[in-house]
Chains A and B, each alone.
Chain A
Amino acid sequence: MTDPMPNIEGLVCPVPLLHNRQVVLGHGSGGRMSYELISKLFLPPLDNPILRAGDDAGVVSLPSGDDPHALRLAVSTDSHVVMPLFFPGGDIGRLAVCGTVNDVAMMGAEPMYLTAGFVLEEGLDFDLLGRVIASMQSAAHEAQVKVIAGDTKVVQRGKADGLYINTTGIGIIPKMVNIRGSNAQPGDVVLLSGTIGDHGIAVLAARGELYFDAQISSDVAPLNSLVSAMLHVSDNIHVLRDPTRGGLATTLNEIAIQSNVGIQIHEDSIPVKPAVSAACEMLGFDPLYVANEGKLIAIVGKDHADELLAVMHSHPLGIDASIIGTVTDEPGQHVTLRTTLGTTRLVDMLSGEMLPRIC
């Protein structure tokens, strides 16, 4: 073989390809592409201080008498497009209630009321729809919220995946509670309420994409009673966030950006179910990026961490809770992971769509 690389300096890679002309699925992944879509397309024209805060719910103050902030409300909305509609541990109805209840609860608010908008596909089975609504009723009862308004629209067959549900939630933020994504401070402790990745893997398994029986149920659950128990013992909770799409890694990155801090987490302290871990190994996924629907991250003052952990452990949704890391003053808003080997690596946001590796 002659010198095999005569033209090497001239061979390079393709021009950049920006997904900035049309929506691709990656824009809905909850990762950096979603973040860019919101910050570049939605935020500029709709901008206001409440939206700009970038939290799970918008916080509005209503005046009463002389007090302009007499009543503070957390308002959040979420559309649910899960496929399949029923999966181990839940269904689209339960998800639609819990997802919005949790977003409201993550502001420290007590969720009170929900509205529900349904997009129904022509041909949808009444029995199936009835089961979804019954499941919503059961989840609403569990979360102690009422559905107070609703809407239905029907689209032609083939124009929707059976059923989409949008829910909007309203909750009251108790006086003295101030929980925001921007409140994390260096020295704070990061708590996680339980195992990660259960929902994402359960849905993948229900789609038949795993080709083995995963035995994993979604963790979808309303977190407001856990939040309420935590608020009962501590006034030093700075941030609450439920790591849904994009997973723990993406949510921690969002908090690091909002609070302008670094976050270091410890790999061996993050609980992952063996079945989730095994499924992720097979598919080439990292559990840090897999969705959860019944877990919360709490960033709290160091002195309150142990007491809060004890409260979480005594709640059914926090049995596997764990202290997973600390907030640092490291500049650059990086999330880093201390590996089981004692090395350190960066943990970035989910980029676009989560894709299985080739080999």
Chain B
Amino acid sequence: MKYIAEYRDSTRVHTVMDEIARIVHRPWVIMEICGGQTHSIMRYGLDQLLPTGIELVHGPGCPVCVTSLEMIDKALAIAAQPGVIFTSYGDMLRVPGSDRDLFSMRASGADVRVVYSSLDALKIAQENPDKQVVFFAIGFETTAPANAMSVFQAKKLGLKNYSLLVSHVRVPPAMHVILGSASNRVRGFLAAGHVCAVMGYWEYAPIAQKYKVPIVVTGFEPVDIAQGILYTVKQLEKGRYDVENAYARVVSFEGNQPAQKLISQVFEECDQTWRGIGNIPASGWKLNSDYKDFDASERFQVQAIKPKESPLCIAGQILQGLKKPYNCPAFGSQCTPEHPLGATMVSSEGACAAYYRYGRPQ
């Protein structure tokens, strides 16, 4: 655990928090984009160490939460077909579609398997030539390179029994949506370190300039997050709005260029529906024409089902930082991780699930 312990060091966290308290003079609302950061904040109680006036709101950076209901329904329809092995990241199994989830599909006899990476799914395809193996390719820029690699290799190997159900989303368009909204409260961003490890942070300068908000690339450990907040508050107090990197041990300006190249070889930009937010133009990736033979939604001709949504859930507003989980009348009563009303309660990275698991008794 060397290399991690030093970023969880209590003295270092408190030193940075003291510095924030020393320099802050006005209240600020800061959004952490990534669900992983939301979980660190709640798990370590970092919000308890911040001076009053600094409010953290939680962004749409949970890939499970924002995957559209239509996509989940497509996944369920594909998993139900005979001869299919449906593979997915574990978290997705709990997300309810219109009437069931992948857990129930598995309990009813569908071959649904949890994998840690799309490359594991590819291996399953090689080992089961008589089955169709589908991988549920969800996620932000973080998971895109591995997913792209799996179809890149499948094509090279001439595999006819492997395909992707793609529902990729990108961070910068979501930031435009949040900042462009009339009801926006966010004055600074902690950008997601893992996304920037792949993409770099060259995409963020136009956003910072257009909306006059500082954007600080931030990691996931307590010291990283405290430092990200410190950099952001420093800029806010001085009236600056630059893009800064507080996660330089992992992230470079250009990012991982071979990964970006692979993404552009396999995917192309598309409009994407975000659960709880709606359609955002050019906010997703789909397989490009060279790889469309690997598109599971075409291969299995799945029809979208009109979703039924709970009128109680306010996940959409939570994902945009307009409301907090405690503001929801259903939170902790009708809506719990066992009986989720919304995706933010389903995923282990969802803001509601983080509040439910770690939040202090209210």
Q: Do A and B come from one complex?
A: yes
Q: Are A358 and B139 in contact (CB under 8 A)?
A: yes
B358 near A12: Cβ-Cβ < 8 Å: no
CB distance from B256 to the nearest CB of A (A): 14
B344 within 8 A of A: yes
User: Interface extent on B, as a size class?
Assistant: 35 or more
Q: How far is the CB of A292 from chain B (nearest CB, A)?
A: 20
CB <8 Å contact, B97 and A14: yes
List residues of chain A with CB within 8 A of the CB of B280. 4
| Contact between chains at B338 and A25 (CB < 8 Å) | no
Q: How many pairs of A and B residues are in contact by the CB < 8 Å rule?
A: 199
A residues in contact with B299, CB < 8 Å: none
CB of A104, distance to nearest CB on chain B (Å): 30
Bound: A356/B64 CA distance, A: 13
Q: A32-B338, A341-B13 are in contact. Are A1 and B361 (CB under 8 A)?
A: no
Residue A46 is within 8 A (CB to CB) of chain B in the complex: no
Q: Which residues of A contact B194 (CB under 8 A)?
A: 359
A1 and B139: CB pair below 8 A? no
**Of the residues A13, A16, A17, contact of B276 by C-beta under 8 Å:** A13
In the complex where A4-B176, A346-B360, A346-B361 touch, is A13 in contact with B48 (Cβ < 8 A)?
no
| A12: chain B residues within 8 A (beta carbon) | 276, 309-316, 342
Known: A1-B176, A332-B361, A358-B64. A13 touches B278 (CB 8 A): no
Distance from A266 Cβ to chain B, minimum over Cβ atoms (Å): 12
Q: Tell me if A26 is interfacial: C-beta within 8 Å of chain B.
A: yes
Give residues of chain A (1-55) contacting chain B, Cβ–Cβ below 8 Å: 1, 3-5, 7-9, 11-19, 22-26, 32-33, 36
- The complex places the Cα of A5 from the Cα of B4 at a distance, in Å, of 39
Residues in chain B near residue A352, CB distance under 8 A: 94, 103, 337-338
Is A211 on the interface with B (CB-CB < 8 A)? yes
Residues from chain A with a CB closer than 8 A to the CB of B320 are: 5, 8
Q: Which of B100, B182, B313, B349 contacts A357 (CB 8 A)?
A: B349
Residue of chain A at shortest CB distance from B47: A343
Report the Cα distance A120→B100, complex, angstroms: 34
Given A13-B313, A17-B340, A346-B360, residue A24 in contact with residue B103 (CB < 8 A): yes
A36 touches B338 (CB 8 A): yes
Interface residues contributed by chain A, number (CB under 8 Å): 53
Cα distance, A277 to B8, chains bound together (Å): 14
A344 within 8 A of B: yes
Q: Is B334 an interface residue (CB 8 A)?
A: yes
**Would A17 and B45 count as touching, CB distance under 8 A?**
no
CB-CB nearest in chain A for B12:
A341
Q: Is the CB of A19 within 8 A of B44?
A: no
Residues of the B chain whose Cβ atoms lie less than 8 Å from the Cβ of A13 = 275-276, 309-310, 313, 315-316, 340-344
B209 CB, min distance to chain A CBs, angstroms: 15
A1–B358 alpha-carbon span in the complex (Å): 37
Q: Closest approach, in angstroms, between the C-beta of B312 and any C-beta of chain A?
A: 8
Q: Which of B106-114, B238-246, B257-265 contacts A (4 or more CB under 8 A)?
A: B106-114
The answer for the CA separation of A356 and B142 in the assembled complex, in Å, is 16
**Are A344's CB and B48's CB within 8 A?**
yes
Q: What is the bound-complex CA distance between A19 and B222, given in angstroms?
A: 36
Chain A proximity of B65: nearest CB distance (Å)? 9
The reply to whether the CB of B69 lies closer than 8 angstroms to some CB of chain A is yes
Q: Is B289 an interface residue (CB 8 A)?
A: no
| A351 touches B (CB below 8 Å) | yes
Distance (whole angstroms) from the CB of B207 to the closest CB of chain A? 12
Cβ of B46 and Cβ of A341 under 8 Å apart?
Answer: yes
Distance in Å from the Cβ of A24 to the closest Cβ of chain B?
5
> Does B25 touch A at the CB level, under 8 Å?
no
Min CB distance, A1 to chain B, in Å? 6
Residue of B nearest to A268 (CB): B10
- A345 & B43 in contact (Cβ 8 Å cutoff): yes
Q: How far is the CA of A39 from the CA of B313 in the complex (A)?
A: 28
Please tell me if the beta carbons of B143 and A359 are within 8 angstroms of each other in the complex: yes
Q: How far is the CA of A14 from the CA of B360 in the complex (A)?
A: 27
- Please indicate which of the listed interface residues A281, A330, A332, A358 has the most CB atoms of chain B within 10 Å of its own CB: A358
A84 touches B (CB below 8 Å)? no
Complex Cα gap A3–B180 (Å): 7
| Min distance, Cβ A173 to any Cβ of chain B, angstroms | 35
**Other CB < 8 Å A-B pairs besides A341-B44, A356-B91, 10 of them?**
A4-B180, A5-B177, A7-B278, A8-B317, A12-B310, A14-B98, A14-B308, A16-B340, A341-B45, A351-B338
User: What are 15 A-B contacts with C-beta separation under 8 Å?
Assistant: A3-B180, A12-B314, A12-B315, A15-B98, A16-B341, A17-B99, A330-B361, A339-B43, A341-B44, A342-B14, A345-B359, A346-B358, A357-B90, A358-B90, A358-B139
